Structure 1
């Protein structure tokens, strides 16, 4: 599955809840270390999620602080590293949609 095919759903989800696309981009960049230009290129190149995370400059060292449930599964207990990273991203987008403060979302 390509990251580009899911990204519009992330944006639509948070926009329905009154948030902005730039907030989605911010949390994705925080998680992956991508610059805005690199993120846009990954979207336009329609890279897979595996490629997206393999090419990420650096997973944020505080990513392990992302905890909680996504689809009834605790993100901190997911054993598959790729699936855990995807669920980290899902969790961050959910938090943006719920209107949490960015300092809390970015675990700072």
Structure 2
């Protein structure tokens, strides 16, 4: 069964709480941890671990999540393909930010060193 395409409208309404456990499960299958997931989210958004947990509990949408975030100045260094699309070419800011997060999680899952994931 095919899944529905991820449209901007769908992403705008999607909650972080609905995706966070999926990110965590993906990482844990690959031997990574919740603190590592929170570390990449913190790097990208400026949120600390307690704030991330609260936003997940509050079931904020990705639109609200990224509206409240302070995007890392080096986020534009996140490049590559995620879901068949080059993240650096995505023009819609919210979709690009969500794909930045997807890309960071994907890199962690593939075993990339944290220093490289965080563009140090």
TM-score above 0.5, yes or no: yes
Give the corresponding residue for 2:67: 54
In structure 2, the residue corresponding to 1:60 is in which secondary structure?
A: coil
TM-score normalised by length of structure 1: 0.97
Give the corresponding residue for 1:29: 42
User: Are 1:77 and 2:86 an aligned pair?
Assistant: no
Residues of 2 paired with 1:15 and 1:80: CA distance?
30
CA apart distance, 1:21: 1.2
Bigger radius of gyration, 1 or 2? 2
Q: How does 1:1-108 map to 2 (within 5 A)?
A: 1-56=14-69, 58-108=70-120
What is the Cα-based RMSD across aligned positions, in Å?
A: 0.5
In structure 2, the residue corresponding to 1:61 is in which secondary structure?
A: coil
What residue ranges of structure 1 are gaps of 5+ in the alignment? none
Task: Please give the per-residue CA displacement for 1:54-91, whole angstroms capped at 9, x wherever unaligned.
Answer: 011x1000000000000110000001100000000000
TM-score normalised by length of structure 2: 0.88
